[in-house]
């Protein structure tokens, strides 16, 4: 799933029949093959809505591979402007009550997320607590882009998930993809600054920095003192956190930002002129 076919006439004008393309996709392993599975799927996605009946029949198959392929086609992950989006979402929602296989449920969750249809909110929040981590990852990675408090509640809850990938997606979503700022969100992010996983800690630090929470100072200083400077400079999350801190420090002039700004200047993380200007702003004038 790492290489995605590029949209274009190669996919729109492919001469093969729908049945041929489905047979090719179903004969391949979506977890191992690139061209063998994903190219036929990408072509079929561009044949919607004309093949909706065939895809709906596929969604009712007793073969889980067929149902998984149906969900992926309906999700139109490689199509910019979705074709017959409401109808595709309707079929996906019809699949959920009768589906029990984790792979298919994960595909349905991902497909629903692609459409950003408000009807997906309830099933995505429900799937975010599924017993299988693959399903939770698929659901949680799509729990943003809607104006619905249920999604924030679900993201907060999943930041403490036992599965690393679920926690990572939840922390990223809550920290960087959600603009809401509440004490509950801040506490959830603060807790993740102590996570055993460095990337999750970084996502939490960025989330707190975006909200101007000065408690991020101690967490970021701890990270800045734990790695070599060259490693830290290459870590995108550290640069993102630095940019957010510089912005808030420049706006508030609070001396609480001084220790971390001093460290950022020392390690040459962030835009040097901006870091120095923020540090000057936060440094009390001599009497």
pTM, 2 dp: 0.90
Give the phi and the psi of residue 81 in degrees, each rounded to 5: -90, 115
Q: Is 243 exposed, middle or buried (0-12, 13-18, 19+ CB in 10 A)?
A: middle
Per-residue pLDDT tens over the stretch 111-144:
999 999 999 999 999 999 999 999 999 999 999 8
What's the pLDDT tens digit per position in 47-68? Answer: 899 999 999 999 999 999 999 9
pLDDT in tens, 232-247: 888 999 999 999 999 9
Residue 231: its pLDDT value, please? 83
Domains of the chain, earliest start first: 1-142 (1.25.10.10), 214-287 (no CATH)
Mean pLDDT over the full length of the chain: 92
So what's the pLDDT on residue 28? Answer: 83
pLDDT at 1 over 50: no
Three-state DSSP class for 152?
Answer: helix
- Check residue 211 and give its pLDDT: 98
Q: Is 7 exposed, middle or buried (0-12, 13-18, 19+ CB in 10 A)?
A: middle
Residues ≥6 apart with Cβ < 8 Å to 280: none
Q: Mean of the pLDDT values across residues 70-78?
A: 90
Sequence-distant (6+) residues with CB within 8 A of 50 are: none
């Amino acid at each position: 799933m790492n290489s995605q076919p590029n949209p274009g006439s190669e996919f729109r004008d492919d001469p093969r029949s729908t049945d041929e393309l489905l047979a090719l996709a179903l004969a391949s392993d979506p977890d191992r093959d690139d061209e063998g599975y994903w190219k036929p799927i990408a072509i079929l996605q561009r044949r919607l809505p004309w093949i909706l009946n065939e895809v709906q029949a596929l969604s009712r198959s007793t073969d889980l591979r067929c149902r998984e392929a149906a969900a992926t086609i309906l999700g139109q992950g490689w199509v910019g402007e979705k074709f017959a989006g409401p109808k595709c979402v309707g079929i996906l929602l019809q699949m959920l009550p009768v589906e029990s296989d984790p792979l298919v449920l994960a595909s349905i969750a991902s497909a629903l997320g692609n459409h950003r249809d408000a009807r997906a909110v309830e099933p995505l929040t429900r799937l975010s607590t599924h017993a299988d981590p693959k399903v939770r990852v698929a659901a949680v990675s799509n729990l943003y882009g809607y104006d619905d408090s249920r999604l924030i509640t679900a993201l907060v809850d999943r930041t403490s998930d036992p599965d690393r990938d679920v926690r990572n997606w939840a922390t990223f979503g809550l920290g960087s993809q959600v603009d809401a700022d509440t004490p509950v969100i801040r506490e959830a992010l603060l807790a993740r600054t102590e996570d055993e996983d460095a990337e999750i800690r970084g996502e939490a630090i960025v989330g707190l920095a975006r909200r101007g929470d000065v408690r991020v100072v101690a967490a970021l200083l701890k990270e800045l003192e734990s790695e070599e400077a060259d490693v830290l400079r290459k870590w995108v999350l550290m640069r993102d956190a630095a940019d957010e801190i510089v912005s808030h420090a420049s706006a508030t002039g609070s001396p609480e930002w001084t220790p971390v700004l001093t460290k950022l200047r020392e390690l040459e993380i962030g835009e040097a002129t901006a870091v120095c200007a923020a540090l000057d702003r936060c440094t009390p004038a001599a009497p």
